[in-house]
Amino acid sequence: MNEELKEYLLSCNEDMEKAISFLKNEYGTLRAGRANPHILDKVFVDYYGTLTPINQMANISVPEARMLVVSVWDASQLVNVSKAIAQADLGVNPIDDGKVIRLIFPALTEERRKEIVKQAKALCENAKISIRSCRRDCLDIFKQLKKDGEISEDEYDNVEKEVQKLVDKFNQLADDICVAKEKEIMEV
């Protein structure tokens, strides 16, 4: 296999790794039974006219399994941070004591756990769609190379098998991550 084909395969591999990385990040923001500081990653506060992520303006700690404590560095922004968390619809109400904000996560009901598992499976399927899209893009390039006479039919067949191996590997990885997340969510 020539260097050009290897580079295309490497690029395809990197794109598939990005899909898995995105899946892991999305799973970090999904609420499981425990408090997770990443649930606040998508919450932004209007900080002097600039939308700022909470983790860039406060310390977020987990003192107990079902509690997050947000210590805002600029005390004048405590109310704004509390408001932003309330508006983010995280399923938890912020408790502002004037110094820190506490988020106490109630135990999830069985029904809510099943809804979250459905979200997790949908995210996994989206990752697989991205992986298949990478495969399609990569194979389109190889088909064009074959059409232009730059690679032979045998080389194309070999490359197609290599791309399918990558797809199978990353689909299995996505499934494994999904099963682990599902187990974490359903854990009481």
Residue-range domain boundaries for the chain:
3-29+109-186, 37-104
pLDDT tier, 29 (very low <50, low <70, confident <90, very high otherwise): confident
Q: How far apart are CA 143 and CA 149, in angstroms?
A: 10
pLDDT (tens digit, 9 = 90+) per residue, 120-160? Answer: 999 999 999 999 999 999 999 999 988 988 888 888 899 99
pLDDT tier, 49 (very low <50, low <70, confident <90, very high otherwise): confident
Q: How far apart are CA 68 and CA 60, in angstroms?
A: 7
Q: Which helix H or strand E contains 58, and what residues bound it?
A: strand 58-64
Q: Which residues pair with 51 in a beta bridge?
A: 46
Q: How far apart are CA 168 and CA 172, in angstroms?
A: 6
> Are 90 and 16 in contact, with CB atoms under 8 Å apart?
no
pTM: 0.73
pLDDT tier, 90 (very low <50, low <70, confident <90, very high otherwise): confident
Region of poorest pLDDT, from 22-31, 67-76, 96-105: 22-31
> Are 60 and 102 in contact, with CB atoms under 8 Å apart?
no
> For the domain 37-104, what is the CATH code?
3.30.1360.40
In CATH, what is the architecture of 3-29+109-186?
Orthogonal Bundle (1.10)
